[in-house]
Amino acid sequence: MSNADVYILAIESSCDDTAAAVLKNNQVLSNVVAGQKIHEEYGGVVPELASRAHQQNIVPVIDAALKKAGIDKKELNAIAFTQGPGLMGSLLVGTSFAKSLALSLQLPLIAVNHMHAHILAHFIDEEGYEKPDFPFIALTISGGHTQIVKVKSFFEMEIIGETTDDAVGEAFDKSAKILGLPYPGGPLIDKYAKEGNPKAFPFTKPKVEGLNFSFSGLKTQIMYFVQKSVAADPDFITNNMNDICASIQHTIIEILMEKLKMAVTETGIKRISIGGGVSANSGIRATLKAAESKYGWKTYIPKFEYTTDNAAMIGIVGYHKFLEQQFNDAEVTSKARIAF
Ligand code: KG4
Ligand code: ZN
């Protein structure tokens, strides 16, 4: 069987994480991620700085991934990389590196859609992790995206709902910024929310047609609420941090759950997966788990390291494309926006 084994080097550089992974078929041999602290002081990702940091990180990250996997470049069967969507300057670093590596090693090149990768991360072989059967509903929630996708097969997916403005990760990060928390604030809201009362400050949910989302109104509402409360009590934030965070998180979870319930009703599909950085949120994970007994859903929540941006998820798409011989030629280019 070993002759048929497929070794893929995957590269991800769509936003502010430089990542490389080596997969042997659908198993992850290494999964290396270098984050970029530089953006913290700016309160958000600065594209020019991200691109420069990718250039500095890409060689050591790929070397580390190969070394950890115990694989020599000559043993690889293909190079997979993130084509888009993402920041152009960031994507270009990974794309050009993947192209030149594939050319010099005479290997097939596989372009991967970052959003497909968040969804197909569930097909990474992990002991004790049950992969979803098709069709299933994927909720992809990250700093850049909020989508509900009907996944019919590895390569047939349909977006049935998405945000009309901010992504859910932005809703977390911008709310955190209003509270004076550093970027990215999502994990901090999660942390404080654990100690707070989710019903302390009721926020109204936006009214959006169908399965689409809107988060910009919530951010504005939180901003006015905080400004007003601080005017009355300068210590309002410090004294109520846990309750404010729990209330924000609770509102976001209710918005997501409402749309997921609608998606289940509309499609009749009760298999629900989540992916993207925000699916690391402990409140979202617990609410989804509870939906199994509450609504009879079967939920799929990937391992934490395959949830935030990583290259293993690019590698699993690469593997399935390899099996179908879906390769790209050297003319392939990065795309900041990409057709689903
Ligand atoms: O998927 P990801 O790593 O990068 C993008 O493709 O955007 O997602 C990053 C986003 C950030 O907005 C971050 O605040 C959010 O995921 N995030 C969380 C948590 N962990 C990461 N949001 C809420 N709770 C968390 N525990
Ligand atoms: Zn992502």
- Rounded average pLDDT over 123-144: 95
- Indicate whether residue 310 lines ligand 1 (CB < 6 A): no
Amino acid 1: pLDDT: 45
State whether the beta carbon of 280 lies less than 6 angstroms from ligand 1. Answer: yes
Instruction: List, in sequence order, every residue forming a beta bridge with 27; answer none if it has no partner.
Output: 24
From the CA of 16, the nearest ligand is 1
* Cβ–Cβ under 8 Å, residues 176 and 187: no
Judged against a pLDDT cut of 70, whether residue 286 lies above it is answered with: yes
> For residue 184, which atom of ligand 1 is closest to its CA?
14
Residue 117 to residue 157: CA distance in whole angstroms = 12
- DSSP-based three-state secondary structure for 40: helix
> How many percent of the chain have pLDDT more than 90?
87
State the Cα–Cα distance between residues 283 and 306, nearest whole angstrom: 18
Average pLDDT over residues 268-273: 98
Q: Is 84 left (phi over 0), alpha (psi -120 to 50) or beta?
A: left
CA of 35 from ligand 2 middle (Å) equals 13
Is pLDDT above 90 for 38?
no
Residue 95, pLDDT > 60, answer yes
Give backbone dihedrals phi and psi of 29, rounded to 5 degrees, phi first. -90, -30
The residue whose CA is least distant from atom 20 of ligand 1 is 187
Q: Read off the pLDDT of each residue in 247-261 and give the average, rounded to a whole number.
A: 98
Local structure of 52: helix, strand or coil = helix
Beta bridge partners of 28: 23
User: What sign for the dihedral angle of Cα 321, 327, 333, 337?
Assistant: negative
DSSP 267: H
By three-state DSSP, how is residue 326 classified?
coil
Q: Which ligand gives the minimal distance to the CA of 87?
A: 1
Looking only at the bridges linking them, the beta strands covering 18-24 and 146-151 are unpaired
Ligand nearest to the CA of 185: 1
Looking at residues 151-161, what average pLDDT do you find? 97
What structural domains and CATH numbers belong to the chain?
Answer: 7-122+307-323 (3.30.420.40), 132-301 (3.30.420.40)
Ligand 2 midpoint to CA 240 (Å): 31
What residues form DSSP beta bridges with 275? 140
Q: 103 to each of 106, 114, 249, 301, how far by Cα in Å?
A: 5, 22, 47, 37
Q: Where are the alpha helices (DSSP H) in 179-299?
A: 186-193, 216-232, 236-267, 282-295
Mean predicted confidence (pLDDT) in 248-259: 98
Give the torsion sign (CA, 321, 333, 137, 18).
positive
User: Ligand 1 centre and the CA of 35: distance in Å?
Assistant: 13
Task: Give, using CA atoms, the residue closest to atom 14 of ligand 1.
Answer: 186
What is the structure's pLDDT at 83?
Answer: 97
Is 169 near ligand 1, meaning CB less than 6 Å away? yes
| Ligand showing the shortest atom-to-Cα distance for residue 282 | 1
Nearest residue (CA) to ligand 1, atom 24? 281
For strands 136-141 and 7-12, give the pairing: unpaired
The mean pLDDT of 211-216, rounded to a whole number, is 97
Residue 202 near residue 222, CB atoms below 8 Å:
no
Q: Is the pLDDT reported for residue 33 higher than 80?
A: yes
Neighbours of ion ligand 2 (CB under 5 A): 142, 309
* φ and ψ at residue 21, rounded to 5 degrees: -145, 155
Whole-model pTM: value is 0.93
Quick one: which atom of ligand 1 is closest to the CA of 176?
Answer: 14
Q: Whose CA is nearest to atom 7 of ligand 1?
A: 143
Q: Determine the distance separating the centroid of ligand 2 and the alpha carbon of 238, expressed in angstroms.
A: 31
User: Is it the case that residue 36 has pLDDT exceeding 80?
Assistant: no
Nearest ligand to the CA of 144 is 1
Concatenate the DSSP letters of all residues of 117-139 into one string.
HHHHGGGS--TTPPPPPSSEEEE
pLDDT grade for 3, boundaries at 50, 70 and 90 = low
Average of pLDDT values for 245-260?
98
Q: Which atom of ligand 1 is nearest to the CA of 309?
A: 3
- The verdict on the CB of residue 186 being under 6 Å from ligand 1 is yes
As a whole-number percent, the residues of the chain with pLDDT over 70 amount to: 99
Sign of CA dihedral 105, 111, 112, 114: positive
Pocket test for ligand 1, best of 118, 174, 308, 338 (most atoms within 8 A of CB): 308
Q: How far apart are CA 295 and CA 202, in angstroms?
A: 25
User: Is the distance from the beta carbon of residue 276 to the nearest atom of ligand 1 less than 6 Å?
Assistant: yes
pLDDT bin (cut points 50, 70, 90) of residue 154 is: very high
- Residue 212 — very low, low, confident or very high, per pLDDT cuts 50/70/90? very high
Average pLDDT for the chain: 95
Query: Is the shortest distance between the CB of 172 and ligand 1 below 6 Å?
Result: yes
CA-proximal residue: ligand 1, atom 23 (nearest): 186
* Amino acid identity at 28: V
